[in-house]
Amino acid sequence: MADQYERSAEFVDVMIAPHWAALGPPLAKALRGVTGPVVDVGAGGGHGTRVIAEAVPAAEIVAVEPSPALRSVLLTRVHESAELRDRVTVLPEGLLEAKLPQRLGAVVAMNVIGHFDPAARQEIWALLGERLAPGGRAVLNLQPPAEPVAVPESRMADVRIGRRRYEGWARAEPAGPGRITWHMTYRTYHDDRLADELQVAYDWWVLSEQQLKVELDGHGLVPALVEPGVYAVDRGDA
């Protein structure tokens, strides 16, 4: 599998950090009362892993991250924390290839569901239906757009580190039924003069709330809205 973040990893972790100020509280709220083990799907550099660790004290965490570039950041972040180092196992495979515990207290899939095509999503829902422990749940968010439409370019990050400033810009265009292509531009300024520019693109499978409910219902799963765009999913018979 190609690493979509191979070229952009140096920017992704620092640019996504501010967004976790908004994502962290609803994730922690959705995880109240669950037990481990907790799977962090597409853990990236580990911002969500830290939220999970605080929200579910003492639980074992399995952080799944197939991108070698992002995984290097994740491993460093975990290793630097004695508390995380004792609780977090980092796996290099994708979610559907990883060797996971047979019973799961929670599965966290923040900022990641669009990486899975419809067939892979069905495999994920089946996994949840089979392995979620009683009282367990999955937590995921849906990112706009909900349909394959064009998204005008906008600045999604502006970070200053030392004498350099890093900007992230994003736009999207339809790429077929249920799919868009994100076009990302990363600009580096040194003393406010453009020093470098990187452009990358990756596919993203869109998913609406209505379609999510339909797909989950087919596996006996029920979503509950935690906050706008964030859902807790459990087994309907739990």
Model pLDDT, residue 2: 63
Measure the CA–CA gap between 49 and 150, rounded to whole angstroms: 32
Q: Structure tokens of 20?
A: 């976790």
Decide: helix, strand or coil at residue 139.
Answer: strand
- Evaluate whether 40 touches 108 at the Cβ level (below 8 Å): yes
Count of CB atoms situated within 10 Å of the CB of 150: 10
The pLDDT assigned to 235 comes to: 87
With a cut of 70, which residues of the chain have pLDDT below it? 1-2, 237-238
3-state secondary structure of 15: helix
pTM, entire model: 0.94
Q: What is the pLDDT of residue 47?
A: 97
- What pLDDT is stored for residue 236 in this prediction? 75
